[in-house]
């Protein structure tokens, strides 16, 4: 058992410079063979990769536990961010400070609209199901999923504080579950688009690479060829994916019918002339 720990968009870097290599075997011969196979990778890695030798079932659980822990960390910072928002506290300043504690660490502390993709949802769901099969109620992990599932609704609630969504054009900026990929699996844009349709909004979606994949799921969405086109005439903009190109948007917001921007990734700059609301800040 040799689980992989590679992320979409950075798979080559993750392979060449791993934090760890996990080998689960029930044979000394297999363990020695795999250690020899991976020794050149460990020797050349920029990071100090650790070779973890363990049993097969332990290696399986390490993979599930790794992704579930990260999903839980994101949901926790989102929960803290939601509370910060209610008290007009900048969750990113809070996260920067607590990240200095080496027991917590600075990674995966960017609060926002939540996690998606393939690994976090399926591994968290698998661990929940396995726990329940064993007669254990994993209440914390269920809460992790619940917090994540609620973030898109909070985003819409913020938008509706400023503008009526039903009957109006709403720009959804970012359709992939993360920048650097065209993967829309469990993208946070999916529940947002579904909820916007339920409210009777006219959805204009834009993503630099993922629009065609999303078109298969939502053929009735208007897919723009640029962020500027999506924003033109829109009454609200929801920033769902942290693509770098969204960070340089400026006068494009001036073409909106009402320049209401709800940012789920802290990627857009707050400025005069737009009504800007950060999801957790």
Instruction: Give me the active site residues, please.
Output: 119
CA distance 135 to 32: 37
Q: Pairing between strand 50-54 and 275-278?
A: unpaired
Instruction: Mention every residue, 6+ apart, whose C-beta is less than 8 A from residue 272.
Output: none
Task: For helices 56-86 and 91-98, give the axis angle rounded to 10 degrees.
Answer: 140
Supply 186's token pair.
């469990």
Supply 198's token pair.
């339920």
User: Is the alpha carbon torsion for 23, 142, 80, 198 positive or negative?
Assistant: positive
Q: Helix or strand or coil: residue 22? A: strand
Q: Helix or strand or coil: residue 50? A: strand
User: How many other CB atoms sit within 10 Å of the CB of residue 251?
Assistant: 8
DSSP 218: -
CA distance 218 to 193: 8
Q: Decide: 148 and 74 in contact? Cβ < 8 Å.
A: yes
- Locate tokens 């494009």: which residue? 252
Q: Helix or strand or coil: residue 277? A: strand
Q: What is the largest CA-CA distance in the chain?
A: 68
User: Which residue stretches of 87-162 are H helix?
Assistant: 91-98, 119-133, 139-160
């Amino acid at each position: 058992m040799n689980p992989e720990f590679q992320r979409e968009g950075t798979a080559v870097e993750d392979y060449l410079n791993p934090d760890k290599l996990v080998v689960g075997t029930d044979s000394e011969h297999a363990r020695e063979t795999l250690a020899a196979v991976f020794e050149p990778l460990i020797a050349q890695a920029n990071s100090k990769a650790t070779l973890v030798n363990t049993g097969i079932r332990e290696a399986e659980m390490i993979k599930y536990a790794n992704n579930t822990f990260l999903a839980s960390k994101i949901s926790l910072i989102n929960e803290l961010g939601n509370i910060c928002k209610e008290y007009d506290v900048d969750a990113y300043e809070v996260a920067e400070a607590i990240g200095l504690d080496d027991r917590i660490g600075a990674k995966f502390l960017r609060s926002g609209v939540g996690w998606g993709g393939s690994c976090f949802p399926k591994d968290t769901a698998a661990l929940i199901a396995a726990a329940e099969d064993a007669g254990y109620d994993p209440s914390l992990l269920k809460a992790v999923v619940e917090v994540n599932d609620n973030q898109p609704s909070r985003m819409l609630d913020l938008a509706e504080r400023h503008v009526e969504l039903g009957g109006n054009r709403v720009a959804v900026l970012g359709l992939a579950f993360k920048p650097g990929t065209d993967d829309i699996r469990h993208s946070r844009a999916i529940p947002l688009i579904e909820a916007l349709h339920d409210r009777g909004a006219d959805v204009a979606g834009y993503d630099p690479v993922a629009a065609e994949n999303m078109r298969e799921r939502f053929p009735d969405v208007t897919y723009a060829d640029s962020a500027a086109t999506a924003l033109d005439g829109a009454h609200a903009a929801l920033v769902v994916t942290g693509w770098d190109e969204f960070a340089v948007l400026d006068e494009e917001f001036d073409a909106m019918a009402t320049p209401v921007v709800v940012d789920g990734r802290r990627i857009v700059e707050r400025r005069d002339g737009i009504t800007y609301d950060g999801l957790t800040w």
